[in-house]
Amino acid sequence: MGWSKAMPERPVVAVAGATGAVGREMLKVLEQRSFPAARVVALASARSAGKRIPFAGGELTVEEMTPRSFEGVDIALFSAGASVSKEFREAVTGAGAVMIDNSSAFRMEADVPLVVPEVNPSDVEWHSGVIANPNCSTIQMVVALKPLHDIAPIKRVVVATYQAASGAGQAAMDELYSQTGDFLRGQEIHIHEFAHRIAFNCIPHIDVFLEDGSTKEEWKMVVETQKIMGAPDLAVHATCVRVPVLRCHSEAIDVEFHGPISLEQARAALAAAPGVTVLDDPENKTYPMPAMLEGTDDTYVGRLRVDTTVPHGLSMWVVADQLRKGAALNAVQIAEALLPA
């Protein structure tokens, strides 16, 4: 089943969850990329209704999100949590709007494209009203893998993530701030958003644990990578760790290929790839670091080197802003892909 409604040149855009960290970033990205919206509507829960948030040199007044909010809307950018996305799916699509959803609600549904525009832009074409934004850690990994996969098909990926507090939302970022201050002042640490203290700590636990001992975050990286890259047999093994960084996820990625690929080929392919910046000059201590890349749009790759433990292996270090490419920017890029050519 496809989608028959034509997208206008200047669509009406709703941002659902507009007061959250990702929702606010979506509004920033829409403004910064001069998205040709006829109108932008900020939606949130009843308790946020009436708040004013900056947009395009002025302000938007937040409206309470109800099923009727989507009448006259063409594109609905959702970052309000999986349960809210599921609750409003029929209201959005029934109103003729396309839902671009940042939650995990629909990512693995067979009729829902899971899209990273640098990797699988054509998948946008077969949506039936809903397009899913992948997990933030998956997005930056596949952006870096795609140009290499085009040279030599990938056999196996082993990845360890170093994920920022921003991946758990604004309250989690606030908790990192407050815990850091409390720790330095020698005061009691209060834990609400994470399983353990996040300040001056690393927590190898993101989302719930599954029967096989992995976490749901790690499972997402496996199945989402396979779906996005159209490679159901691609082996992916992930260990996901929350670290005391405000924004930008980092990943140490080991890639094993089916055939030979030289370091020079890999570097050239990454340098030429859309949305990728290579920062790789160890002699001058140049490599991607989260503290230096907040607010940026690209996926940054460094520490490129040969992995001699497998026949055709490379290792790399990948950093991207979780709120930008890992969420808001990717969603807006999907919206751009929906615009008439």
Active centre residues (catalytic): 136, 249
In this predicted structure, what is the pLDDT of residue 341? 85
DSSP letters, 48-105, are: GTT-EEEETTEEEE-EE--GGGGTT-SEEEE-S-HHHHHHHHHHHHHTTPEEEE-SSS
Angle at Cα 254 formed by Cα 248 and Cα 259, nearest 5°?
135
CA dihedral 50, 33, 297, 81 (to 10 degrees): 30
* Distance set, CA 23 to CA 29, 42, 117, 315, 329 (Å): 10, 9, 20, 34, 11
The pair of structure tokens assigned to 88 is 């409003």
Task: Give me the pLDDT at residue 4, please.
Answer: 78
Domains of the chain: 12-134+327-338 (3.40.50.720), 138-322 (3.30.360.10)
For the chain, strand residue ranges (E) read: 12-16, 39-44, 52-55, 58-61, 63-64, 75-78, 98-101, 130-132, 154-163, 235-242, 249-257, 276-278, 299-306, 313-320
Q: Cα-Cα-Cα-Cα dihedral of 154, 307, 289, 77, to 10°?
A: 10
Read off the pTM: 0.97
* The pLDDT of residue 232: 97
pLDDT at residue 302 in the model: 98
Q: Are 141 and 221 contacting, i.e. CB atoms less than 8 angstroms apart?
A: yes
- Could you tell me the sign of the dihedral formed by the alpha carbons of 134, 136, 139, 142, in that order? negative
Helix (H) / strand (E) containing 182: helix 170-184
pLDDT at res. 34: 98
pLDDT by 10-residue block (mean), the chain, 341 residues: 84 97 96 98 97 96 98 98 97 97 97 98 97 98 98 98 95 97 98 98 98 98 98 98 97 98 98 98 98 98 98 98 97 97 85
What tokens does 86 get? Answer: 């599921």
Please give the structure tokens belonging to residue 44. 């949130």
Q: What is the C-alpha end-to-end distance of the chain, expressed in Å?
A: 22
